[in-house]
């Protein structure tokens, strides 16, 4: 029986795929890929590889997770090399753990290929280090969508009191609620916050503010966006390198065309 590869494709920049992840794409007979991967990665697939879209938008999933699990198992049992290509890292809000469990239940060999998660990469491209000796010695990656049945006040109180930097996935639609809970459980209204939309891609844009004004500043931001909360956000003004790189590239292009 051939192996299934659960691969993190990284946050969007084509060059941020790992070498091991790229090899898994190139050897696959079947690739099941997500919405937020860089589509150019599929150009690395074998000529006759079967490509299956498994993308998920909020409240609009092309395939249910149970269907994806079933496809992984079915193709593997047919003797095909299967690569499950997921945005970011498969084990960071990627449901890779659920897929790995399904493979174990069917005695199918698999390999996890970690990827660079947006919680680190998007802030980095925005000039925001998630840890810093002077500002933050701890960081938490949390979901803006809480599990049903969780005591929300207890959850957010724990988050506020235990971590210096918060990287919040899937939280744009709940931004007012998130900011309110953070302030209610102890963070100052002046706490810095940033939203990075389409991080690491040419479409990236970043907005910063405080918990009390970010809702107004980021009113037109949509998914996919990473939310970063904490004192490290103040470093963006000094460290924003990606925008400068884009400006330089546009200048060079304009000069060449001219």
Given 13, 23, 170, 174, the catalytic residue: 170
Give the ranges where 32-168 is alpha helix by DSSP (H). Answer: 65-77, 96-105, 118-125, 152-162
Calpha distance 168→233 (Å, rounded) = 14
Residue 56 is a catalytic residue: yes
* pTM, full prediction: 0.92
pLDDT at 258: 62
Give the ranges where 78-150 is alpha helix by DSSP (H). Answer: 96-105, 118-125
Given 3, 23, 27, 56, the catalytic residue: 56
Please write the tens of the pLDDT for every residue from 189-243.
999 999 999 999 999 999 999 999 999 999 999 999 999 999 999 999 999 999 8
Helix (H, G, I), strand (E, B) or coil at 253: helix
The proportion of the chain whose per-residue pLDDT surpasses 70, expressed as a percent, equals 96
**Banded pLDDT at 87 (limits 50, 70, 90):** very high
Res 74 pLDDT > 70: yes
CB 130 within 8 A of CB 136: yes
Which tokens is 58 given?
């909020």
Given 2, 34, 86, 226, the catalytic residue: 34
Please write the tens of the pLDDT for every residue from 137-185.
999 999 998 777 788 889 999 999 999 999 999 999 999 999 999 999 9
Residue 170 is a catalytic residue: yes
């Amino acid at each position: 029986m051939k192996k299934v590869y659960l691969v993190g494709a990284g946050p969007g920049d084509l060059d941020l795929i790992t070498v091991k992840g790229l090899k898994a794409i190139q050897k696959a007979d079947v690739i099941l890929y997500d919405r937020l991967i860089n589509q150019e990665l599929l150009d690395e697939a074998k000529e006759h590889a079967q490509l299956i879209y498994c993308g998920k938008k909020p409240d609009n999933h092309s395939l249910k997770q149970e269907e994806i699990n079933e496809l992984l198992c079915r193709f593997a049992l047919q003797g095909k090399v299967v690569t499950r290509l997921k945005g970011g890292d498969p084990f960071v809000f990627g449901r890779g753990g659920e897929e790995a469990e399904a493979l174990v239940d069917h005695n199918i060999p698999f390999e996890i290929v970690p990827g660079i998660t947006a919680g680190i990469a998007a802030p980095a491209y925005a000039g925001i280090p998630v840890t810093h000796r002077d500002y933050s010695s701890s960081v938490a990656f949390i979901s803006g969508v809480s599990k049903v049945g969780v005591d929300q006040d207890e959850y957010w109180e724990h988050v506020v009191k235990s971590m210096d930097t918060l990287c919040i996935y899937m939280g744009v639609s709940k931004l007012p609620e998130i900011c309110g809970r953070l302030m209610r459980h102890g963070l100052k209204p002046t706490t810095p916050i940033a939203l990075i939309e389409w991080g690491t891609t040419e479409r990236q844009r970043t907005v910063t503010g405080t918990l009390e004004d970010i809702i107004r500043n980021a009113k037109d931001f949509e998914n996919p966006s990473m939310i970063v909360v904490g004192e490290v956000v103040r470093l963006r003004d000094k460290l924003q390198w990606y925008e400068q790189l884009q400006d330089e590239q546009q200048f060079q292009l304009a000069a060449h065309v001219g």
